[in-house]
Amino acid sequence: MIERKTPIALDPDDLVVHVGAMRKRHIRSVLRIEQQVYPRPWSAALFQSELALRDTRAYFVARVGHTLVGYSGLMMTLDDGHVTTIAVDPAWHRSRIGTRLLLALAREALARGATALTLEVRLSNQGAQALYRRFGFEPVGVRRGYYQDTGEDALIMWARRVQEPAYRELLASHERQLPGRTVFETRRVITSTDDGPSG
């Protein structure tokens, strides 16, 4: 992720971010970000097909007011939760949108019985890797030539023992450190945070 400041003069402590389930009506805004962030963006049809697989998929969007600023996806395979995508509008980097989206994914995976989380990330994407490490992901291997657009290798990362209380406390700690207010509107539970930044 290339980090840039938000285009508006907004104090992070005043930020209110809603994170909820992705719907078909969100796809146009999702594609706008997808085309900015990825060299080979997903199509509207692919997003629609993913949204239809409710038993094994979960997709979330982050909104500030009426503006969609990011989205994320999860695929369940037995008891493993696979992060399929996380993308944030470049204009909203450094607003901790990615952290909020990863929190939603991790909690959804836990609610679905996941005992581990996994993902692939470009070897060159140090910013994303740092975010994932904060969520307990550790590198375990490399997939050679995984990204077809450039032939770049992917780092495989796993977070294990995510059903243990220590991991739930890790998630709670990240949530407490978020600036402003976050409203999580998931299918299973609606929670909100109103804590300022702690560092």
Q: Which of 120, 146, 147, 185 is catalytic?
A: 120
120 is catalytic: yes
Question: At residue 26, what is the residue type?
Answer: H
Closest CA to 180 of 8, 35, 16, 10: 16
Please tell me the distance from the alpha carbon of residue 85 to that of residue 74, in angstroms, as a whole number: 7
Please tell me the distance from the alpha carbon of residue 193 to that of residue 171, in angstroms, as a whole number: 13
Q: Which of 59, 71, 132, 167 is catalytic?
A: 132
Largest CA distance in the chain: 45
Going by their DSSP bridges, the two strands 80-88 and 67-77 should be labelled as antiparallel
Please tell me the distance from the alpha carbon of residue 69 to that of residue 26, in angstroms, as a whole number: 11
Catalytic residues: 120, 132
